Every structure is written in structure tokens, then in C-alpha cells.
């Protein structure tokens, strides 16, 4: 990434969905994921993600051959791989603390460590949008999409990637 173009932040779950070509998603959800990857390949857009994505993706034990597809995507100059530095770590901690400080409002839940790092990275690197499928809560962690617009006092749009040219899904 040259640093001057707008970039969309990719949560690990989207890269896993693309690699595994998930068919269990709601109709149309994968259209945006696939289209954005194709637009990256055509150099129309840039994406970025934290280097912790590598750990999260490889923890999922990809089928044979998909690791090469993943690695090839990350060789592109319009795919930013952002290391965790002290600024990101501090903002991730601050975001987690922000949500933990109001247990009544957030049901005692806060951000997971990786989600805090992903969000902090997107905020600090001024992502155009943060793309994820994370819209449902679990026992301890907040979902991300409902935080869109105001992430711990920081402006950030969190959404599923939308296709410009959605395909008619006849499933």
C-alpha cells in the first residue's frame, strides 16, 4: 500500500469466509467479500488488516492449498499488513476498558483482545470502513457491527462488505 489511497479494513472472519468459500452465509453476503477481493486484484481498492490476522487464519487449519492463496493475496502492494505497535496496543486496551467500564450498558461484555487490536488498527490507520461478519454477541465479547459509527469515541463505520454489482442468488 502506498499509504495515500483509502483502504478497507478486513476482519479475519472475512478472509476465512473467502478462503473457505462459505456457502452457509445469508444470500448475498459472500458477493461483497468476493467482489472486494476481485477489486483488490484489479488494483481498484486497497485493503488492510493487522498481522494478527495471520495467526487467526492459520489457527483455522485451512484445507491444503488455501494457505498459498492467502499468502499470494498478501504479497500485493495494495494489501496492507499492519504490525501491532505500542500505539495500537494502547488504543486496543483503551477500547476494551471503555466497554468494560459500563457493564450495565454492555451487559458485562467487552471487546475480545483480537477485536480490540483489529478496531484500534482500523481507527489509527483511518480505514474507510471496517468489514466483518461479527454481528452477534457471545458470552463475553461484544459484537462489532452494532458498534458502527462510534467505537469507543472514535468514528468508524463497521459493516459487511457490500457488492457494487450483487449477483442474483437463486439458492
For residues 149-170, average pLDDT = 82
Neighbours of 136 (CB within 10 A): 10
User: How many residues comprise the chain?
Assistant: 171
CA angle (37 as vertex; 77, 78 as ends), nearest 5: 15
Report yes or no: 166 and 27 within 8 Å, Cβ to Cβ.
Answer: no
User: Which among 82, 107, 110 is positioned nearest to 94, based on CA atoms?
Assistant: 110
- The domain total for the chain is 1
Q: Residue 35 has what pLDDT?
A: 93
Instruction: List % helix, strand, coil for the chain (3-state, nearest 5).
Output: 40, 10, 45
* Structural domain for 64, as ranges: 7-159
pLDDT of 5 higher than 70: no
Residue at 165 is within a domain: no
Answer yes or no: are the C-beta atoms of 141 and 115 closer than 8 Å: yes
Q: What is the CATH number of the domain that holds 56?
A: 3.40.50.1010
Question: CB–CB of 13/132 below 8 Å?
Answer: yes
pLDDT at 138: 83
C-alpha cell at 9: 479494513
Taking residues 16-37, report their average pLDDT. Answer: 90
Residue 169 covered by a domain: no
pLDDT at 165: 67
Examine residue 58 and state whether it is found in any structural domain, yes or no.
yes
Is 167 a member of any domain?
Answer: no
Q: For residue 92, is it within any domain?
A: yes
Say whether pLDDT at 170 is over 90. no
> Model confidence over 103-147: pLDDT tens digits?
889 888 999 999 999 999 999 999 999 999 999 878 889 999 999
Tell me the pLDDT tens digit for each residue of 57-88. Answer: 988 877 788 888 889 999 999 999 999 999 99
Amino acid at each position: 500500500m502506498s499509504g495515500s489511497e483509502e483502504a478497507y479494513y478486513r476482519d479475519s472472519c472475512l478472509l476465512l469466509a473467502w478462503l473457505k468459500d462459505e456457502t452457509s452465509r445469508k444470500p448475498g453476503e459472500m458477493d461483497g467479500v468476493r467482489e472486494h477481493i476481485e477489486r483488490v486484484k484489479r488494483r481498484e481498492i486497497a485493503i488492510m488488516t493487522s498481522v494478527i490476522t495471520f495467526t487467526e487464519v492459520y489457527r483455522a487449519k485451512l484445507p491444503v492449498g488455501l494457505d498459498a492463496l492467502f499468502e499470494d493475496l498478501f504479497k500485493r502492494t495494495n494489501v496492507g499488513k499492519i504490525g501491532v505497535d505500542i500505539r495500537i496496543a494502547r488504543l486496543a486496551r483503551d477500547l476494551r476498558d471503555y466497554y468494560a467500564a459500563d457493564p450495565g450498558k454492555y451487559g458485562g461484555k467487552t471487546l475480545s483482545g483480537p477485536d480490540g487490536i483489529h478496531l484500534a488498527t482500523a481507527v489509527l490507520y483511518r480505514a474507510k470502513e471496517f468489514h466483518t461478519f461479527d454481528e452477534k454477541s457471545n458470552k463475553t465479547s461484544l459484537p462489532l457491527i452494532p458498534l458502527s459509527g462510534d467505537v469507543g469515541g472514535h468514528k468508524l463505520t463497521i459493516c459487511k462488505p457490500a457488492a457494487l454489482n450483487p449477483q442474483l442468488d437463486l439458492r
